[in-house]
Amino acid sequence: MPDFSTILQAPEIRAIVQENLLERAFHDALFPRLLFRGEATPQVWPASVGDTMVFSGVGLIKPKMAALPPGVDPLPSSYQSEQWTAQLQQYADTIDTHMPTSIVAIANLFLRNAHQLGLSAGQALNRVVRDRLYNIGASGNTVTTAAAVAPTNLVPVARLGGFTRARNPLLAGGSPVRFDAVSAANPLAATVGGVAVSIVGFAAATPGDEVGPGTLTLAANIAAFALRAAVVATDASVIQRVGGGTTIDALVAANILTLADMRSAVARFRQQNVPEQPDGQFHCHLSPRAEGELFADNEFQRLLTALPDYYMYKQFAIGQLLGIAFFRNSEAPIAQTVSGGATASYDPADPLGLELFVGGTTAGLAVEHSLLVGQGAIYEYHQDLSQLITEAGVTGRVGEPRITNNGIEVFTDRIQLIIRSPLNRLQDLVATSWRFIGDWPARTDATVGDAARYKRVVVIEHA
């Protein structure tokens, strides 16, 4: 196709005109809103308390409603206790800027590098919180990754989350308060393919990882189990699976998200006395696709009959409904947002305790996971990083990033930005880094309500 620009087409004129002029600017990339980290309640880590803190919760005294016979003293009552922990961890990343390159680039490369690094920091910590929330919602639910046709006490599983620690206050030698590592003295009751078993040990495929694939050790042999058989702990979190079924493999394409599933999740929260968030609502994080599925629900459509101008249809947004504040979250776990998700593999750097495909392979149906969160499910304990700076000072500058991308303020609170002075021999290589020190403990509620260890999060699995 000929080039018909406004410039005269004469060859001698075209030869002296500068073509393909490079615009001197970097345009922002498409970037998600970072919503998961907002669910964590921030708390400052107290100074000089070590790198691990233990938190204690208590159960309730069983109500005694029987009248006392005359002259009889009441028997002493008691209540159970439980504990969960947080451990300081450091998260960081860095990027180098070669200043001679920066000054000849189309725009300030140093500023752009700092901008991109800040985006990465916000997204990294947001996904850490996402994984923690989904992991407690999927705790104690997995499938076998191989079949056994002969008696064995070794069970290979897709995810270890919820099977590596147990609490046995009524068992002699068991852990009375804290969830400690499973052992012969501190076993975890579970079922494999519907058969009751006792888990006394585990071996992780990645050493030190208690979320991803591994092998469970049973106290006694189990006769046999099928490939992808359900493995469920007695204190497993309740996963609401559209259409029912004991594993993710029960889902079919017709099992899309409906308002009925949302009602069931809210009913569970209320039955377990989970408090609403400070805004008076439970929070639901769902992908744009899952949001679209709700609009296809007959019940939802009946609610909006003859209301074409209502904001839900005008803005394609649900807002608040059924005691839930709905958040469209493009960082919800799907193959594109989870490391290794595109190949249905597990990446220890992105430890997500659930699978994304029916059958555990990309040949299966892609599965969505919508998340409902009540108040107090997770906390963000962060260290005051100003304590790291002494009278000796620093070689450079330290601050907190303030980033706007495509007009959206990026959540980077409590993240430290470090711009190091150039220390190479030519003093022209500037390192820009971010750092966060803290942890996101998820509290347990095993001493009240039903047997579930975690009650403040509900995961809904659907097509």
Averaged confidence pLDDT in the chain = 92
* Signed CA dihedral, 8, 9, 10, 13: sign only: positive
Residue 417 · residue 432 · CB < 8 Å = yes
pLDDT beyond 90 at 265: yes
Of 446, 294, 371, 329, the C-alpha closest to 138 is 371
Nearest 10 degrees: Cα torsion 227, 137, 291, 311? 170
Predicted pLDDT at 388: 79
pLDDT beyond 80 at 97: yes
pLDDT beyond 90 at 394: no
pLDDT beyond 60 at 434: yes
Question: Which residues pair with residue 372 across a beta bridge?
Answer: 284, 458
Predicted pLDDT at 384: 86
Q: β-strands 239-241, 457-462: how paired?
A: parallel
State pLDDT tens for residues 148-206.
Answer: 999 999 999 999 999 999 999 999 999 999 999 999 999 999 999 999 999 999 999 99
Percent of the chain's residues with pLDDT above 90: 75
Predicted pLDDT at 28: 86
Predicted pLDDT at 407: 80
pLDDT beyond 80 at 96: yes
In the chain, domain spans: 31-48+87-139+237-463, 143-233
State pLDDT tens for residues 332-357.
Answer: 999 999 999 999 999 999 999 999 99
Q: How confident is the model at residue 49 (pLDDT cuts 50, 70, 90)?
A: confident
Predicted pLDDT at 50: 81
CA 66 from centroid of its chain's CA atoms: 45
Length of the chain: 463
Percent of the chain's residues with pLDDT above 70: 98
Predicted pLDDT at 385: 84
**Looking at residues 245-272, what average pLDDT do you find?**
96
Strand, helix or coil for residue 166: strand
**Looking at residues 430-434, what average pLDDT do you find?**
92
Predicted pLDDT at 391: 66
- Please tell me the distance from the alpha carbon of residue 302 to that of residue 439, in angstroms, as a whole number: 44
**Looking at residues 135-143, what average pLDDT do you find?**
97
Predicted pLDDT at 127: 96
Predicted pLDDT at 429: 92
Predicted pLDDT at 141: 98
Kindly report the pTM of this predicted structure. 0.92
**Looking at residues 16-33, what average pLDDT do you find?**
82
State pLDDT tens for residues 50-81.
Answer: 889 999 999 999 999 999 999 999 999 999 99
Predicted pLDDT at 2: 58
**Looking at residues 267-295, what average pLDDT do you find?**
96
Q: How confident is the model at residue 83 (pLDDT cuts 50, 70, 90)?
A: very high
pLDDT beyond 90 at 29: no
pLDDT beyond 70 at 3: no
Residue 439 · residue 87 · CB < 8 Å = yes
CA 171 from centroid of its chain's CA atoms: 33
Predicted pLDDT at 4: 65
